[in-house]
Structure 1
Amino acid sequence: MTPTLALFLGFILALALMAARSRFAGFLSQRPEHFRGKGPVLDLRRHLSGPILCEGVIYGPLGRVTSRFVADMHATWDGSTGTMTEDFRYDSGSVQHRVWTLRVGNDGVVHATAPDVEGEGTGRLEGPALRLDYRIRLPEDAGGHVLNVTDWMYLMENGTIMNRSQFRKFGIKVAELVATMRPVAA
């Protein structure tokens, strides 16, 4: 075997191992059914309702914090259709506003749309967890790129929702978000 062929085969093997890790042992390997019967049941109509305070950090591709934010959210429901407004304030001083439309089926399937989401996001509720996948277009001042997003939300015993999201471009993780969402006391 020539050194060039050995290097090429080593490169291919490394890519295959990285893909296998991601599929079978990483963040993207989680499935909603893994959470069936484990803990309190996440009901978006109940747990994402009214005023909500969200606090979080965004990590860049190297794992360093690139931004911190606080968001005021408010969700209302009409049957199985909800509207959730989000007003983000970032540590840079910038602000962002988003309005989600959420539809929850009796089977736990969730559909989500927002002006900066391309097409429709789809997800599934199971036990205390929600997985939601969608494509988001970043603002022009952030490059205007379209990223694939996987959101995982986990209901905690005290009613707080922990959110972990990964943002990918061409299958490569370019950012990660970790946030809490807590109901605002009346």
Structure 2
Amino acid sequence: MEPFTYALLGMILMLSLVFVWTRKFGFLAQSPEDYADKGPQFDLRKHLAGPILCEGMIYGPTGRVTSRFVADMDVSWNGNIGTMTEEFRYDSGATQSRYWKLTLGNDGSIRAEAPDVIGIGQGVQRGAGVQLNYRIKLPEESGGHELDTVDWMYLVENGTIMNRSQFRKYGVKVAELVATMRKKEAA
């Protein structure tokens, strides 16, 4: 075999190993059942309710911080249907308003709808964790890309919610978000 063929086979093998590693052992390998009996019981109607302060960072594909933000959220519930408004302020000076409609099933399932979500997001609430999967369309000023999103929220004993999200295009991670959410009176 020629050196080019060896290099190409080596690259394919390495990409395959990275793909398997992330799907079997990394962030994407988590399951809601992993959190079913761990930590405090996360009830979205209780812990994600009222005025909430959110602070976070967005990391680019290389792992470097590309943006920081603070958001004011307000979440209200009518039975198992919640509405959430979000007002983001980014370190660049840009602002963004978002709106979510969340519907909780009695089995812990979650349906999430938002104007920038393509179709309907699906999720599950178990124990101290909440997982949400959806496809988001970025604003035009951010490129207008459509990204597959895996969103995890974890409830901490003091009531703070830790949020970690990964955004992928064609299966490749292009961004990651890490944020805290806590009730404003506790902030």
TM-score norm. by structure 1 comes to 0.97
Cα distance in 2 for partners of 1:56, 1:5 equals 44
Q: Residue 124 of structure 1 aligns with which residue?
A: 124
- The alpha carbon displacement at 1:165 in A equals 0.5
Structure 1 Cα separation of the partners of residues 92 and 116 of structure 2: 21
**Residue type at the aligned position of 2:12:** I
2:73 matches 1:84: no
Report the counterpart of residue 11 of structure 2 in structure 1. Answer: 11
Asked if residue 107 in structure 1 is aligned to residue 127 in structure 2, the reply is no
**Aligned ranges 1:138-177 → 2 under 5 Å:** 138-177=138-177
Shift of 1:12: 1.7
Unaligned 5+ segments in structure 1 are none
Root-mean-square deviation (Å): 1.0
Q: Which amino acid aligns with 1:122?
A: Q
Measure how far apart 1:3 and its partner are.
2.4
Q: Find the aligned partners of 2:142 and 2:2 in 1 and give their Cα distance.
A: 45
Secondary structure of the 1:62 match is coil
Q: Secondary structure at the match of 1:185?
A: helix
Secondary structure at the aligned position of 2:18 is classed as helix
Taking the aligned partners of 1:19 and 1:94, their CA distance within structure 2 comes to 35
In the aligned structure 2, how far is the partner of 1:11 from the partner of 1:54? 40
Shift of the alpha carbon at 1:43?
A: 0.5
Alpha-carbon distance in 2 for matches of 1:55, 1:9: 44
Q: Structure 2 length normalisation: TM-score? A: 0.97
Q: Give the superposition deviation at 1:34.
A: 0.7
Residue identity matched to 1:108: G
Unmatched 5+ stretches in structure 2: none
Regions of 4+ moved over 4 Å: none
Number of matched residues?
186
How big is each residue's C-alpha offset from its partner over 1:11-59, in whole Å with a ceiling of 9 and x where there is no partner?
A: 2211110111111111111111111110111100011110000000111
Quote the Cα distance in structure 1 between the aligned partners of 2:101 and 2:116: 12
Q: Which residue of 2 aligns with 1:35?
A: 35
Q: Secondary structure at the match of 2:185?
A: coil
How far is the alpha carbon of 1:87 from its aligned partner? Answer: 0.4
